Amino acid sequence: MTRRLAWIVLALALAACDEERGQNEQRQILQDDAPRALAVIRQDLDDGLAGVRAAAERLAPGFAVEDPARREGDLRAGLRLVQRPTRQRVPELMTLPITFLAAVDPDGTVIARDANEDRMRGFDLAGAAPVVRRALDGSAGYALSSLPSLLENDPPSVTVIFAAPVRHEGRVVGAVAGGLPLWRITQQLSRQLQLENAEETRQGEIVWALLLEGDTQHYHAGFPPDLRELIPDPATRRAGLERSAGGFTGEVQQYGRWYGFGVIPLPSVGEDVTLILFRSDP
């Protein structure tokens, strides 16, 4: 092949790549990434609810202990044991990326959580998360809640709270509640998609996920700052979802590289929660 012909072939290849403008990435998002991400989220929600229900059954004897100090100690130990490979284990809680599991008193305050450094002790969780109050009234469920930070100057944590009533001798004696923050789901989705595309990512492919609650971005520490700038603005998201209520894809360029993106509403997680997916081929 002559040098001139080689340049022509290269120019045509580059033109074809530019003309594609993220189309291949959009197809992969539609065919692979979005279904996989939605399946992971669905499994998280199912596991979270099943997990707190099972934990409530296992921990019921601890709620019946009369001595407050002993009850707190027994429950704290039990909250850890149900998440570990012990006889008390709850399989759903061993894999779910929750950030806390707590025992809640009938008055709605936290008796203990699954950590020795327990900043949640005495916190009115039922006041902050109505789903916990409903559990104390006898109904298990999950819902998105905004929990105030227990650390000074930290923003609230927008978290899926799973809660189930604890029953002893036929009456509700408390609740078990677990928390799965949106940033943690973002981290889980990104890691899962990257793991399932490990060979491609080693070759330079980019795959990331992020969650929005309203216009607020929820992401973990490792999320690329430059990608956050590519998230479609509210007007673009509204227009796209008006055309396709179940979600839509598009393309965007940054630093000469094309990305495909997906925008998918997640009403199962929260009323105004949206999944954003990014993919870019090498």
Confidence of residue 150 (pLDDT cuts 50, 70, 90): confident
What's the mean per-residue pLDDT of the chain? 91
- The per-residue pLDDT for range 218-250, each reduced to its tens digit, is 999 899 999 999 999 999 999 999 999 999 999
Q: With 60 as the cut, is the pLDDT of residue 138 above it?
A: yes
- The per-residue pLDDT for range 67-123, each reduced to its tens digit, is 999 999 999 999 999 999 999 999 999 999 999 999 999 999 999 999 988 999 999
The CA distance from 39 to 199, in Å, is: 22
The CA distance from 33 to 222, in Å, is: 19
111: Cβ–Cβ under 8 A, 6 or more apart, which residues? Answer: 71, 72, 75, 102, 103, 104, 105, 121, 174
Confidence of residue 155 (pLDDT cuts 50, 70, 90): confident
Q: Which residue has the higher pLDDT, 117 or 273?
A: 273
**Strands annotated E in the chain:** 100-104, 110-113, 141-147, 157-168, 171-181, 206-213, 216-218, 248-254, 257-265, 273-280
Q: Report the candidate in 116, 121, 86 with the shortest Cα–Cα distance to residue 103.
A: 121
Tokens describing residue 67: 């001595």
Please state the pTM of the whole predicted model.
0.90
Q: What mean pLDDT comes out for the span 212-222?
A: 94
The predicted structure's pLDDT at residue 201: 93
- The per-residue pLDDT for range 47-74, each reduced to its tens digit, is 999 999 999 999 999 999 999 999 999 9
Contact (CB, 8 A) for 267 and 246? no
- The per-residue pLDDT for range 2-16, each reduced to its tens digit, is 433 333 232 323 333
Q: With 60 as the cut, is the pLDDT of residue 178 above it?
A: yes
The predicted structure's pLDDT at residue 17: 39
User: Given the structure tokens 């099943």, which residue do they identify?
Assistant: 50
Tokens describing residue 191: 């890691």
The predicted structure's pLDDT at residue 21: 74
Q: How far apart are the first and last CA of the chain?
A: 26
- 195-215 per-residue burial string, b: 16 or more CB within 10 A, e: under 16: eebeebeeeebbbbbbbbbee
- The per-residue pLDDT for range 19-28, each reduced to its tens digit, is 467 799 999 9
Contact (CB, 8 A) for 116 and 76? yes
The predicted structure's pLDDT at residue 157: 94
The predicted structure's pLDDT at residue 282: 82
Strand partners, 224: none
